[in-house]
Amino acid sequence: MDLFNLTANQLLTMISSGQISAADVLSSVRVRQQAVGQKTNAFIRTYDETGNGAAFPVPIGIKDNICVKGREVTCASKILKGFRPPYDAAVVEKIKASGGIVLGSLNMDEFAFGSSTESSSYGIVRNPWDLGCVPGGSSGGSAAAVAAGEAVWAIGSDTGGSIRQPASFCGVVGLKPTYGRVSRYGLIAFGSSLDQIGPITKDTTDCARLLGILAGFDHRDSTSVDLPVPDYTKSLDRHVRGLRVGIPKEYFIDGIQPSVLAAVQAAIDFYKKEGALICEISLPHTEYAVATYYIVATAEASSNLARFDGVEYGLRAVPSRPRKAGIVDMYEETRAKGFGNEAKRRIMLGTYVLSAGYYDAYYLRAQKARTLIKNDLDKAFLDCDVILSPTAPTTAFRIGEKTNDPLSMYLSDIFTIPANLAGIPAISLPCGFDEKNLPIGLQLMAAPFAEERLLAAAFAYEQAHGWHVQRAKL
């Protein structure tokens, strides 16, 4: 039996019954890493944790922008090479306290800037379903590791779709919690008003279980919300009768891959057949979401990345003429050599929209548009319980296909961005395969802190279909 292919729920049941040991699980996952790791490039570095005596021994990978005490964390960037944080992120504390076994750091787009995991300074991550395709991004390593059996669970971060889009491309489950539901303490920031840490798992049950571990108030994060954490696994229900499902007409547009559209329509038909109430809704300001996001996100990225200058930690580049160079020359040389092209592009865009004379024209206007997008969603949730859409307009694209077309790359997140702008929870789960046997993702969104409703709706669909049990054959 390939233990690495099983869910945490299955593994823990087998451990508790004495069929297998925690050591068997860890050994299976590590052997799998060695067998396929060079093919996927999902892990940047692995750890030697054993988890001896752990009560909840689930092998888990951590995205390389989340701090693990004493372990190198680089955001897949040259500029943070050698940085070892002196503390654990809040989510890592929770994972360790639960007995989880941290396997290592997962590859990602540099500083989470991307939708394909092609911008990592540690090399491209490959999709386990087709090694010639991208796994999505920026949490591509996290999704690929779970899909390939290199980790039972993974942690990602989602700023504009960076958990859900790679989950869709890799045929796994990924959830972006409500903003404030999971502490961001120890997450190296991209866009501070957008970032949220969340789980990537093989199925919805595991997702509910891992979210229950990660969620909760943390006084070290000023945006953390002090609300009780329910047992999300108790909300899972096969029945959706009476569930109000909103179908946003603005999300079903020209340009969606026909097989994606067909799979999502089949999901809508399922909910209708099971007694859910299907209604068309309008989110009229959706057309401004991508433009709004790429102003707000780049502005916040420019501000957050200003701290990486070669003084306190990471790379320090020596100017070519050190005797005549000053500290500004060192800053410039370090940032020129340390940041990749996409990071530089976003820093320049963000600096521009925040600059004198352009702040009102761009950043302030984007914040107003963000409010309108949030208001659209707030209004929609008065009439529906969940909103259903494709996670992405296409399945995984070929490596290199969009690297020279940033706008086309940015549009990969067109359906996921609004949830970040509004701070609401959203989940992606498998809903089929295209003609090339690449996974298709279904997205469900819910009102703030309605993760229980979201997981229940996802579970009902998942249990009626077999998409989540299919595994990539590397």
User: Is 389 tagged catalytic?
Assistant: no
> What pTM, to 2 d.p., does this model score?
0.96
Average pLDDT for residues 46-52, to the nearest whole number?
85
Tell me what pLDDT residue 322 has.
62
Per the CB < 8 A criterion, the answer to whether 163 and 115 are in contact is no
> ∠ CA 177-179-180 to the nearest 5 degrees?
105
Q: Before 138, cis peptide (omega within 30)?
A: yes
Tell whether 314 is covered by a domain: yes
Tell me what pLDDT residue 231 has.
97
Is residue 324 scored above 70 in pLDDT?
no
CATH number of the domain where residue 370 is located: 3.90.1300.10
Pairwise pLDDT comparison (406 vs 71), residue with the higher score: 71
Tell me what pLDDT residue 412 has.
85
- Tell me what percent of the chain is helix, strand and coil, each rounded to the nearest 5: 40, 15, 45
Closest CA to 415 of 146, 176, 81: 176
Tell whether 230 is covered by a domain: no
Tell whether 232 is covered by a domain: no
Per the CB < 8 A criterion, the answer to whether 244 and 276 are in contact is yes
Tell me what pLDDT residue 155 has.
98
Q: Average pLDDT of the chain?
A: 95
Is residue 94 scored above 70 in pLDDT?
yes
Pairwise pLDDT comparison (328 vs 265), residue with the higher score: 265
Quote the tokens at residue 308: 């990486």
Per the CB < 8 A criterion, the answer to whether 259 and 440 are in contact is yes
Per the structure, the count of domains in the chain is: 1
Is residue 430 scored above 90 in pLDDT?
yes
Report d(CA 431, CA 235) in Å as an integer. Answer: 21
Tell me what pLDDT residue 247 has.
98
Average pLDDT for residues 428-436, to the nearest whole number?
98
What residues have CB less than 8 Å from 56, skipping those under 6 apart? 12, 98, 99, 100
Task: Write down the catalytic residue from 139, 162, 168, 224.
Answer: 162
Q: How many CB atoms lie within 10 A of CB 76?
A: 31
Q: How many CB atoms lie within 10 A of CB 341?
A: 12
What confidence tier does 53 reach under pLDDT thresholds 50, 70, 90?
Answer: low
Mean pLDDT lowest among 49-53, 285-289, 392-396: 49-53
What confidence tier does 56 reach under pLDDT thresholds 50, 70, 90?
Answer: confident
pLDDT tens across 234-276, in order?
999 889 999 999 999 999 988 899 999 999 999 999 999 999 9
What confidence tier does 327 reach under pLDDT thresholds 50, 70, 90?
Answer: confident
Task: Write down the catalytic residue from 28, 63, 115, 428.
Answer: 63
pLDDT tens across 165-209, in order?
999 999 999 999 999 999 999 999 999 999 999 999 999 999 999
Tell whether 273 is covered by a domain: yes
Task: Write down the catalytic residue from 105, 138, 168, 428.
Answer: 138
Tell whether 98 is covered by a domain: yes
Per the CB < 8 A criterion, the answer to whether 370 and 286 are in contact is no
Tell me what pLDDT residue 325 has.
67
Q: How many CA atoms lie within 13 A of 11 on its CB side?
A: 27
Tell me what pLDDT residue 394 has.
97
The identity of residue 252, as a single letter, is: F
Tell me what pLDDT residue 193 has.
98
pLDDT tens across 118-155, in order?
999 999 999 999 999 999 999 999 999 999 999 999 99
Is residue 47 scored above 90 in pLDDT?
yes
Per the CB < 8 A criterion, the answer to whether 315 and 338 are in contact is yes
User: Is 63 tagged catalytic?
Assistant: yes
Report d(CA 23, CA 52) in Å as an integer. Answer: 8
What residues have CB less than 8 Å from 142, skipping those under 6 apart? 42, 61, 63, 106, 108, 151, 154, 155, 156, 163, 166, 200
Tell whether 132 is covered by a domain: yes
Tell whether 231 is covered by a domain: no
User: Is 428 tagged catalytic?
Assistant: no
Average pLDDT for residues 405-412, to the nearest whole number?
82
Is residue 323 scored above 70 in pLDDT?
no
The identity of residue 82, as a single letter, is: G
Tell whether 233 is covered by a domain: no
Per the structure, the complete domain to which residue 402 belongs is given by 1-225+238-474
